[in-house]
Amino acid sequence: MDLRKLKTLVDLVSESNISELEITEAEGKVRIVKGGGATGMVMAPAPVMMASAAPAPVAASATVPPAEAPAAPAGKVIKSPMVGTYYRAASPGAKPFVEVGSSIKEGEAVCIIEAMKIMNEIEADCSGKIVQILCENGQAVEFGQPLFIVE
């Protein structure tokens, strides 16, 4: 997406009543948030551009530079098989399926992902011990997003 088109979108958001705009095109994904609030990281297979629609002038470099690749986590990663909302327990107030340090077996339910009002139990694809939980309860997750690290 060229800079003129990006500036036009920023101006459009600034002058309207909307607080957030996200557009996906072949070249990438753009997310514009009004008011200078913190923006979350957008996972996209194509390059990601972000801009703020605050009253301040638009900076010439509205693209996010590629970040250094984080060190690969030690152990097996259980990833989300779908887009939805992550839940640690079967119901509010219920005991979570797993905690850090829990031993799990392949095929055992580790969380629930709600997609289109359907609760989907996500099963472990390996056995081991949960060493890290990478999502917060109620957080939106993307397809392929890491949920747990298993040792």
- Does a structural domain hold residue 58? no
SS3 12: helix
Instruction: Give residue 144's domain range.
Output: 76-150
- Does a structural domain hold residue 142? yes
In terms of domains, do 143 and 100 share one?
A: yes
- Does a structural domain hold residue 57? no
Give per-residue pLDDT as tens, 86-101.
Answer: 999 988 889 999 999 9
Q: Please indicate, yes or no, whether the overall pTM of this predicted structure exceeds 0.75.
A: no
In terms of domains, do 95 and 44 share one?
A: no
Give per-residue pLDDT as tens, 88-139.
Answer: 998 888 999 999 999 999 999 999 999 988 899 999 999 999 999 999 999 9
Angstrom CA distances, 101 to 60, 122, 131, 148, stand at: 47, 18, 6, 11
In terms of domains, do 40 and 80 share one?
A: no
Domains in the chain, number: 2
User: How does DSSP assign 64-93, residue by residue?
Assistant: PPPPPPPPPPSSEEEE-SSSEEEESSSSTT
In terms of domains, do 30 and 81 share one?
A: no
In terms of domains, do 97 and 37 share one?
A: no
- Indicate which CATH number applies to the domain containing 81: 2.40.50.100
- Does a structural domain hold residue 20? yes
- Does a structural domain hold residue 62? no
Tokens of 40: 């979350």
Residue 17: predicted pLDDT: 78
Task: Please give the Cα distance from 21 to 17 (Å, whole number).
Answer: 11
